[in-house]
């Protein structure tokens, strides 16, 4: 595989800073298709780098990145931390779930405080939908949304798209234009509370895929058909003809009341077993954003299928995508030619 | 402060319950002396120069006494919701609140229906009535316990007081901040189906009908609940319905970008429901339009949408928004003032809210065409949390009298 440096796919997106004319990355919903493709293409070089024994660059040397996580996280925080460090930035993690927020400081004041410390990028996760956008409006540096409530988780959708692209490429089924036209993707699980589902619906559709959602009615958001998806309640119906099956976990921490009778009953209707997977297309790909609840939404033997499951590749692509996002969003501050002040706006 | 000399407002168009009439409006000793006659010698003559001469607005259900905003909006009386700190669930607090606006603004406290507004134990309603409460209110929330609601309505019927209720089934509404549908789904906000309102309205009408109580549904915002009100009125139930301009001007599209100024209770509804509210204003199903005035500063509104407090500063925009319904041909001018003055005054049992001999001389001069732009940064209110920020509007109050005494605007 060749390295896809900056000139990877000329013509696919505008030159220089026009390729990604956003200060922040808050939502997939605010991106154009060519901007999504740009981030995916940019990530390819970091996939390559991350597979080398020496994974370090100095691209972001001297920059300070703050990971402000107002909600507990292990894998996303670690992924962003590794991404920042491999790019040479100074990375600081703020576990806001146990900090001054508990002492009554408002979110805006916390944002202003972070801003005063002159971060060059802030990565934020917050439990309230819209909170990351709210902070972005109060700070002077790029803000990356690492998940806001049940709204969006844009880097997750991007890494999923990249993982899918790599698997298709490995099978010789990837399209040269980077799109996934005609791919049928089933997302099954707690759609109601899932920011991963919302970002993935938008991202997969932008790349030309069709999206099916499957959940019991209580976990299916009302009016979601308006987003151009088809809605299923019987998992078997959704699986028929699917190229990709993306499983989501039950977000018990966001549930206000009882939404399903029991995990056991949920598994009975919605657990992804070998038998159910056989209803999808013959080589259908299995995905899961993690953390998995083995034996609930997915059986271990499905999660670990070497040719079908790309769950570990998703994690690998996560670091590359986050490196790409940090790199692209800090180009203006780093005065990269074509990305500077007044060069394109 | 008492009116010293008689006043004659001439050259205006007088908005009376029967329609617009020409002639002078005379105010004497704080009351309306004559409607549509001539000025008398010795009157202070005010030339209305073709403007509307209207009753001062009576705002049924506000959360704060915010005189500059009320006066800007031509509001001379307001019924204060019991959701104060501490709540109006005790006679002495009601007595204090009833005096808090005088002389240039009259506050009509609404007695809290239950202790602490918790929906469990009836408050001392008769004593609060005698301390100045004009009606009873459940507060920001619905009384979930049907047994408590039944006893409240029985008691209110005996006292001949109106019960003002908030209509959202609390178990269904839960922690929702939006109406279920495409917008809430796209934004990932906790939402409840619009039927939460229909359920609450159905129960409250059934109980009021059973015991013959007078019920005012402070905000009815969905097509299905309005249909229940329509049917109840047709069979003679003593039920009235209100709404604020937010629910006939805006749909849940206004929540885009997580705008917390559009975080209201009940939440904004679908476009179909918005149209149903307009139709219900037009056909008389809705009796009252109120501001729901609830000024909220940045500490309550500059927060993530879910954490922001509901409510809007609505006093300044109430009249201009109602006048859009007149311009659109939904209602006539006299009905507009029934909705914002006469009907709420009748519900509260006060002799005001209309241009009629002997009524309190609470009068506004209104230029119905005067253009202005709503600007949240330049509000008279204690806070600028208006969902109409930036909206070009028409209709402004240019002069105001409370009990025949001019209020500087």
Interface pTM, i.e. ipTM: 0.91
Q: What is the pLDDT of residue B154?
A: 98
A23 and A97 in a common domain? yes
User: Which domains, from first to last, does chain B contain?
Assistant: 57-352+371-391 (3.20.20.140)
What Å distances lie between residue B196 and A274, B206, B267, CA to CA? Answer: 42, 16, 11
Closest CA to B56 of B80, B32, B28, B29: B32
Q: How many Å apart are CA B64 and CA A17, to the nearest integer?
A: 50
Q: Do A223 and B182 touch (CB under 8 A)?
A: yes
A176 and A148 in a common domain? no
The domain that holds A123 is classified in CATH as: 3.40.50.1370
Q: Is residue A5 part of a domain?
A: no
Given a cut of 60, is residue A85 above it in pLDDT? yes
Tokens of B342: 């006469």
Question: In this structure, what DSSP letter does residue A152 have?
Answer: B
- Measure B276 CA to nearest chain A CA, in Å: 20
What Å distances lie between residue A97 and A74, A94, A110, A119, B86, CA to CA? Answer: 13, 9, 12, 20, 32
Across the interface, of B174, B185, B304, the residue whose CB is closest to A134 is B304
Q: Is residue A11 part of a domain?
A: no
| Portion 114-133 of A in contact with B at CB < 8 A | 126, 128-131, 133
Q: How many Å apart are CA A342 and CA A25, to the nearest integer?
A: 20
Q: How many Å apart are CA A55 and CA B366, to the nearest integer?
A: 73
A270 and A127 in a common domain? no
Q: Mean pLDDT, to the nearest integer, of A305-332?
A: 97
Q: How many Å apart are CA A87 and CA A331, to the nearest integer?
A: 13
A195 and A143 in a common domain? no
Q: Are B161 and B214 spatial neighbours (Cβ–Cβ below 8 Å)?
A: yes
A153 contact B CB<8A: no
Q: In sequence order, what E strands does chain A have? A: 64-69, 90-95, 121-126, 143-148, 184-188, 210-214, 230-232, 244-247, 285-287
Given a cut of 50, is residue A1 above it in pLDDT? no
Residue A103's pLDDT band (cuts 50, 70, 90):
low
Chain A residues near residue B307 by CB distance under 8 angstroms: 128
pLDDT tens figures, A125-171: 999 999 999 999 999 999 999 999 999 999 999 999 999 999 999 99
Residues in chain B with pLDDT values less than 50:
none
Q: Do A107 and B188 touch (CB under 8 A)?
A: no
Across the interface, of B185, B258, B307, the residue whose CB is closest to A224 is B185
- Measure B313 CA to nearest chain A CA, in Å: 21
Best of A30, A108, A128 to substitute, by most chain B Cβ atoms within 10 angstroms, is A128
Q: Is residue A196 part of a domain?
A: yes
Q: Are A153 and A146 spatial neighbours (Cβ–Cβ below 8 Å)?
A: yes
What is the residue whose two structure tokens read 């319904």? B325
Q: What is the pLDDT of residue A7?
A: 43
What Å distances lie between residue A259 and A103, A149, A325, A328, A339, CA to CA? Answer: 32, 18, 36, 40, 48
Q: Mean pLDDT, to the nearest integer, of A94-105?
A: 68
Mean pLDDT of chain B: 97
Residue A340's pLDDT band (cuts 50, 70, 90):
confident
Q: How many Å apart are CA A288 and CA A309, to the nearest integer?
A: 9
Q: Do B193 and A222 touch (CB under 8 A)?
A: yes
Among chain B, residues having any CB pair with chain A shorter than 8 Å are 174-175, 180-191, 193, 257-258, 298-299, 302-307
Tokens of A273: 């077993």
Chain A residues near residue B186 by CB distance under 8 angstroms: 29, 198, 227
Q: Are B82 and B392 spatial neighbours (Cβ–Cβ below 8 Å)?
A: no
A136 and A158 in a common domain? no
Identify the bridge partners of residue A285 per DSSP, sorted by sequence position: A244
Q: Is residue A341 part of a domain?
A: no
Question: In this structure, what DSSP letter does residue A151 have?
Answer: T
Chain A residues near residue B304 by CB distance under 8 angstroms: 107, 126, 128-131, 134, 149
Q: Is residue A3 part of a domain?
A: no
Given a cut of 90, is residue A97 above it in pLDDT? no
Which backbone phi and psi does A131 adopt, to 5 degrees? -65, -35
Q: Do B184 and A256 touch (CB under 8 A)?
A: no
Write down the pTM of the prediction. 0.94
Residue A253's pLDDT band (cuts 50, 70, 90):
confident
Alpha helices by DSSP H, B168-216:
170-173, 182-187, 195-211
Q: Do A134 and B193 touch (CB under 8 A)?
A: no
Burial class (CB in 10 A: 0-12, 13-18, 19+), B259: middle
Q: In sequence order, what E strands does B153-259 have? A: 163-165, 178-179, 191-192, 215-217, 239-243
Q: Are B94 and B111 spatial neighbours (Cβ–Cβ below 8 Å)?
A: yes
- Measure A129 CA to nearest chain B CA, in Å: 6
Residue A1 CA, chain-centre distance (Å), reads 24
What is the residue whose two structure tokens read 């619905």? B142
- In chain A, how many domains are there? 2
Chain B residues near residue A224 by CB distance under 8 angstroms: 182, 185
A200 and A60 in a common domain? no
Residues in chain B: 409
Q: Three-state SS for A275?
A: helix
Residues in chain A: 345
Do the strands B288-289 and B239-243 form a parallel or antiparallel pair, or are they unpaired? parallel
Domain of residue A198 covers 154-310
Residue A10's pLDDT band (cuts 50, 70, 90):
low
pLDDT tens figures, A33-45: 999 999 999 999 9
A271 and A141 in a common domain? no
Given a cut of 90, is residue A59 above it in pLDDT? yes
Complete DSSP assignment for A209-256:
-EEEEE--GGGS-TTGGGGT-EEESSHHHHHTT-SEEEE----GGG-S
Residue B379 CA, chain-centre distance (Å), reads 19
Q: Which of A72 and B333 is assigned the larger pLDDT?
A: B333
Q: Is residue A181 part of a domain?
A: yes
Q: What is the pLDDT of residue A12?
A: 84
Q: What is the pLDDT of residue A95?
A: 83
- Measure B358 CA to nearest chain A CA, in Å: 53
Closest CA to B228 of B208, B267, B198, B196: B198
Tokens of A122: 């802030």
Q: How many Å apart are CA B226 and CA A125, to the nearest integer?
A: 41
Q: What is the pLDDT of residue A343?
A: 64
A90 and A188 in a common domain? no
Q: Mean pLDDT, to the nearest integer, of A266-274?
A: 97
Q: What is the pLDDT of residue A100?
A: 55
Query: How would you label A274-290 residue by residue, b for 16+ Cβ within 10 Å and e otherwise?
Result: eebbebbeeebbbbbbb
Q: Do A128 and B304 touch (CB under 8 A)?
A: yes
Mean pLDDT of chain A: 93
Residues sharing a CB contact under 8 Å with residue A52, sequence separation 6 or more, in sequence order: none
Which backbone phi and psi does B191 adopt, to 5 degrees? -135, 160
Q: Mean pLDDT, to the nearest integer, of A302-318?
A: 97
Chain B residues near residue A129 by CB distance under 8 angstroms: 187-189, 258, 304-306
Q: What is the pLDDT of residue A3?
A: 38
Q: Mean pLDDT, to the nearest integer, of A83-99?
A: 88
A195 and A81 in a common domain? no
Q: Do B304 and A257 touch (CB under 8 A)?
A: no
Q: Do A222 and B188 touch (CB under 8 A)?
A: no
Q: How many Å apart are CA B170 and CA B178, to the nearest integer?
A: 14
Q: What is the pLDDT of residue A2?
A: 37
Residue A15's pLDDT band (cuts 50, 70, 90):
confident
Q: Do A256 and B307 touch (CB under 8 A)?
A: no
A241 and A145 in a common domain? no
Q: Is residue A339 part of a domain?
A: no
Q: Is residue A343 part of a domain?
A: no
């Amino acid at each position: 595989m060749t390295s896809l440096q900056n000139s990877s796919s000329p013509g696919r997106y505008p030159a220089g800073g026009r390729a990604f004319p956003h200060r922040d990355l808050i939502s997939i919903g605010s991106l154009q298709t060519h901007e999504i493709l740009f981030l995916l293409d940019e990530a390819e070089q970091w996939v390559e780098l991350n597979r080398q024994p020496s994974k370090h660059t100095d691209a972001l040397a001297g920059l300070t990145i703050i990971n402000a996580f107002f909600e507990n996280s292990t894998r996303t925080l670690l992924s962003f931390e590794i991404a920042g460090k491999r790019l040479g930035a100074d990375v600081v993690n703020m576990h806001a779930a146990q900090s001054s927020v508990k002492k009554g400081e408002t979110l805006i004041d916390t944002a202003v405080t972070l801003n005063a410390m002159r971060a060059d990028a802030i990565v934020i996760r917050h439990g309230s939908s819209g909170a990351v956008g709210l902070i972005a409006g109060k700070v002077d540096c790029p803000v990356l949304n690492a998940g806001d409530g049940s709204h969006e988780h844009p880097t997750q959708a991007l890494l999923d798209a990249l993982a899918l692209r790599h698997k298709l490429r490995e099978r010789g089924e990837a399209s040269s234009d980077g799109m996934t036209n005609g791919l049928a993707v089933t997302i099954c699980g707690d759609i109601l509370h899932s920011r991963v589902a919302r970002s993935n619906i938008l991202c997969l559709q932008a790349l030309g895929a069709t999206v099916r959602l499957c959940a019991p009615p209580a976990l299916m958001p009302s009016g979601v058909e308006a987003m151009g998806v088809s809605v299923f309640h019987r998992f078997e119906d959704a699986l028929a003809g699917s190229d990709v099956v993306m499983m989501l976990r039950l977000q018990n921490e966001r549930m206000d009341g009882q939404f399903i009778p029991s995990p056991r009953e949920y598994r009975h209707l919605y657990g992804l077993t070998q038998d159910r997977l056989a209803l999808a297309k013959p080589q259908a790909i299995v995905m899961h954003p993690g953390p998995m609840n083995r034996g609930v939404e997915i059986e271990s033997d499905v999660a670990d299928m070497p040719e079908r499951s790309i769950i570990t590749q998703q994690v690998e692509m996560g670091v590359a995508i986050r490196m790409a996002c940090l790199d692209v969003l800090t180009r203006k501050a780093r005065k990269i030619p074509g990305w500077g002040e007044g060069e394109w706006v | 402060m008492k009116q010293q000399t008689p006043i004659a407002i001439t050259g205006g168009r007088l908005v009376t319950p029967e329609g617009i009439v020409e002639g002078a409006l005379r105010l004497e000793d704080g009351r309306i002396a004559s409607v549509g006659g001539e000025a008398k010698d010795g009157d202070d003559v005010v030339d209305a120069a073709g403007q509307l001469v209207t009753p001062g607005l009576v705002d049924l259900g506000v959360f704060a006494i915010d005189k500059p905003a009320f006066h800007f909006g031509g509001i001379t009386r307001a019924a204060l919701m019991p959701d104060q700190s501490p709540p109006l669930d005790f006679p002495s607090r009601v007595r204090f609140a009833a005096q808090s606006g005088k002389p240039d603004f009259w506050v009509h406290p609404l007695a809290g229906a239950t202790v602490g507004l918790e929906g469990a134990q009836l408050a001392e309603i008769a004593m609060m009535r005698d301390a100045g409460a004009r009606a009873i209110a459940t507060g920001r929330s619905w009384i979930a316990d049907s047994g408590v609601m039944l006893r409240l309505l029985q008691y209110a019927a005996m006292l001949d007081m109106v019960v003002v209720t908030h209509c959202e089934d609390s178990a269904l509404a839960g922690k929702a901040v939006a109406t279920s549908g495409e917008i809430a789904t796209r934004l990932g906000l906790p939402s409840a189906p619009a039927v939460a309102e229909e359920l609450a309205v159905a129960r409250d009408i059934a109980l009021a009908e059973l015991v013959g109580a007078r019920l005012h549904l402070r905000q009815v915002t969905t097509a299905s609940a309005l249909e229940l009100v329509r049917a109840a009125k047709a069979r003679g139930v003593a039920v009235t319905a209100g709404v604020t301009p937010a629910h006939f001007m805006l749909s849940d599209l206004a929540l885009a970008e997580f705008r917390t100024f559009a975080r209201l209770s009940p939440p904004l509804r679908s476009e179909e429901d918005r149209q149903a509210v307009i139709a219900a204003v037009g056909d008389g199903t809705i009796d009252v339009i109120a501001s729901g005035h609830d000024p909220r500063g940045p500490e309550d509104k500059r927060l993530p949408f879910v954490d922001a407090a509901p409510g809007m500063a609505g006093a300044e925009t109430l009249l201009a928004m109602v006048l859009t319904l007149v311009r659109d041909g939904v209602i006539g001018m006299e009905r507009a003032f029934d909705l914002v003055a006469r009907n709420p005054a009748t519900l509260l049992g006060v002799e005001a809210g209309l241009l009629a001999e002997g009524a309190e001389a609470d009068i506004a001069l209104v230029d119905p065409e005067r253009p202005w732009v709503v600007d949240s940064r330049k509000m008279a209110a204690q806070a600028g949390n208006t969902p109409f920020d930036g909206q070009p509007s028409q209709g402004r109050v240019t002069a105001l009298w409370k009990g025949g005494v001019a209020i500087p605007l």
